[in-house]
Each structure stands twice: as C-alpha cells, then as structure tokens.
Amino acid sequence: MPRYRKHRHQIPENHRRKCVDTGTVKQVKHRLIKIPAEYTSPKRKEGFTYEDIPGVEIYNYSSTEGALESGQDFVNHYTEDDFIR
C-alpha cells in the first residue's frame, strides 16, 4: 500500500494577502493561478512555489462573491453522480 501524499495545492491556514476585488489585506479563501503555456515543470519538487515561475499570474480572493464580481467563476459544476464508481 503506498504512503499517503500531502496535497500540495491547498491554501495554508492564516494565508493573508491583498484581495484583488476589495483591495484590502484579508485571509485568502480562493486563488486563481494562471501559468504560461510554454512553462515546463522542473524535476525538483521540494521547496516549489508558484511565485518562482516567471510570468505566472496569481489572483487572491477573500470571498466567493468577490471572485464572482470580478468575472471569475468558482461555482462547483459537479454532481454526486460524477463521483460514483
């Protein structure tokens, strides 16, 4: 049985950044990360952050409503039937 791997794309606890919508510093609830199409991933995995990628755009949002007002859609389109095997 393989070992449990930590999900690396979770937003850490108490992650405070400037909200794109409101312009104030608040706790980040949602993030939109746009990576350039020509980017290739390096082999190293330790110490990797999205800020290290040249040309990456990171948008931080403090609420779902703020993200929806700015044109980004965070609505869950999945149903329970999609997860049944």
Mean pLDDT by 10 residues, the chain (85 residues): 67 80 84 85 72 86 75 70 79
Q: What Cα–Cα distance (Å) separates residue 2 from each residue in 5, 6, 43, 44, 45? A: 9, 12, 21, 21, 18
CA distance 78 to 43: 32
Predicted local distance difference test score (pLDDT) of residue 48: 73
Predicted local distance difference test score (pLDDT) of residue 17: 87
Q: pTM for this one? A: 0.61
Q: List the helix and strand counts (H, then E) for the chain.
A: 1, 4
Domain boundaries, the chain: 16-40+47-73
